[in-house]
Structure 1
Amino acid sequence: MVFQVTNGIKISVKTEFESTIYRNYKLHYIFSYRLSIENQSNDTVQLLRRNWKVFDSLNEIEDINGEGVIGEKPILKPKEKFTYKSHCILTSTIGAMKGYFEMINFTTTQNFEVKIPTFQLIVKGAIN
């Protein structure tokens, strides 16, 4: 598990290799990740947008941007935590993801970025 704290918001990520699938006659690797957002600040905040960079050792870097996460824009009061599970499909056994969340602080009405630490997506046995 990796974690990082930015402006009082702790992001923790745990990954797992799930399985393989065939798409367009090519083997792909499915990874899941469980991400927790914990508000360690004294202010209420809301997640507005996500911004990801997905690294696949056999492809170019993919940028993913959009509103919220899994269809939600969670509001977190101090000491509250929001956890969700999602997935990523790669064409290789080795990859990584990183990014940031755009959030708003309801006390200051200011938007701010919360870094998502780089986390590895690796099939067991791919690296010795």
Structure 2
Amino acid sequence: MTSFEGTYFKNYKIHFAFSYVVTIENHSKDSVQLTSRHWEIFDSLNDLEVVDGEGVIGKKPVLKPGENHTYSSGCLLSSPYGAMKGHFNMINFTTTKTFKVIVPTFRMCAPFALN
């Protein structure tokens, strides 16, 4: 879920602020941990921005079978329209194997930018 939070000026440029909420659910029979994230941020007025980092908002949540973790974050765009996609890198505690959880593309659009 995404929300437009408003505009502001920084360094003589206008920025469009968006927030998003992500819920990660563990549907497996094993405990898993989120170790890192990869985001590709598309801005209609800028080049693709790639963001890689440990955990999410400073946390590396462990999810037991059936548990979920929800977090909110945000990004700044140079335009009122953009999108994000990416993945989370996870580790299975039982098998010690790593795997990716794909986050499909989600759009960010300021209400006044809609046709």
Task: Give 1:127 deviation, angstroms.
Answer: 2.4
TM-score by length of 2: 0.97
2:111 is paired with a residue whose SS is coil
| Deviating 4+ runs (over 6 angstroms) | none
Q: Structure 2: give runs of 5+ residues left out of the alignment.
A: none
1:46 to 20, 33, 55: 33
Give how far 1:24 is off: 1.2
Instruction: Give me the CA root mean square deviation.
Output: 0.7
Is 2:49 the counterpart of 1:62?
yes
- Kindly state the Cα deviation for residue 112 of structure 1 after the two structures are TM-superposed: 0.4
**Partner SS state of residue 8, structure 2:** strand
Pairing partner for 2:102 from 115, 119, 125: 115
3-state SS of the aligned residue for 1:71?
Answer: coil
CA distance in 2, matches of 1:67, 1:39: 19
After TM superposition, the score normalised by the length of structure 1 is 0.88
How many residue pairs match? The answer is: 115
What is the aligned-residue identity percentage? 57
d(CA) in 1 for partners of 2:90, 2:27: 14
User: How far apart in 2 are the matches of 1:15 and 1:42?
Assistant: 30
Residue in structure 2 matching 1:101, options 53, 75, 88: 88
Tell me the alpha carbon deviations over residues 72-106 of structure 1, each in whole angstroms, 9 at most, x when there is no partner: 00000011010111000000010000000000011
